Amino acid sequence: MTNAQTEDVVEDLTSDSLIVSWAAPGVAQLTINRPERRNALNIEVKELVARAVEELGANASVRVIVITGASGAFVAGTDVAEMEHLTPVEHTLRVTDRMFSTLRACPKPLIAAVEGFALGGGCELALCCDIIIASERARFGQPEILLGVIPGAGGTQRLLRAVGRYQAMRLLLTGKHVFAEEAHAMGLVSEVAPEGKALEQAAEMASLIATMPALAVSAIKEVVRAGADVPLDTALLLERKAFQILFDSQDQKEGMRAFLEKRPPEYHGR
């Protein structure tokens, strides 16, 4: 795909509610743009994000995807006004969890840049990402219990796997929020950034990852994702096979040769 074609893809994916741009070479940025609702997720936005992640994930020019929200908020939750009257059948027919399943299946590294609220569906969106960079005043929580329901897009299961049973149950059963520093101590956040700097710090990390050998990046994501919920012996076998396969790549030969020759490597994703 040429640069012009890639720019056309980015432009085609952009709308009033979702801005798609380049944060850096190889780094695509999705900005959820509903500031009047603190970027709450309605069905339209979820469909836009799902479509963008599918297309960018399949685009060889895209190495990393950063997801953030406009106007000082990440995502304050799912749009309750829209959700209130949905029936179980409508949830099924409208595939209201498609965005989350698409994010979880994305082959490219996903980085959430969180300012302000990441609550309910916003917290679940962040939990779908591989790395979470949060500003000091960012707030995380799963307050669904306060609305008479429970998280429905991975909140109970992914939060459990991220922070453990006792911290997950504390948040799930009370609906309480935690600020970034506490979330970081719990293992929910990768790094804490100064207020207003989460996107900048996320873009820097994304740019660094974009310089890494693409086949190794892909293998790491695949093995970590597949190995998380299988017995350790099976996960170690998956890791070993992926490790061995990479020895058939040009990037492996270039990386080791560059190390021995004490020069920067030049990776080409082959």
HSE-CB for 24 with a 13 A CA cutoff = 18
Q: Helix (H, G, I), strand (E, B), or coil: what is residue 175?
A: coil
Strand-pairing partners, residue 65, are 28, 110
Residue 195 bears catalytic tag: no
Structure tokens at 234: 């099976």
Output DSSP code: residue 195.
T
Q: Yes or no: say if 79 and 120 are a contact pair by the CB < 8 Å rule.
A: no
Query: How many angstroms separate the CA atoms of 242 and 260, rounded?
Result: 23
CB-based contact 34:17 (threshold 8 Å)? yes
Which of 144, 181, 182, 254 is flagged as catalytic?
144
Tokens at 3, concatenated? 């640069």
Other CB atoms within 10 A of residue 30 CB? 23
Identity (one letter) of the amino acid at 194?
P
Among the listed residues 47, 82, 124, 261, the single catalytic one is 124
Secondary structure letter of residue 147 according to DSSP: G
DSSP state of 41: B
Is residue 47 part of the annotated active site? The answer reads no
What is the Cα–Cα distance from 209 to 204, expressed in whole angstroms?
Answer: 9
Q: Which residues are catalytic?
A: 124, 144
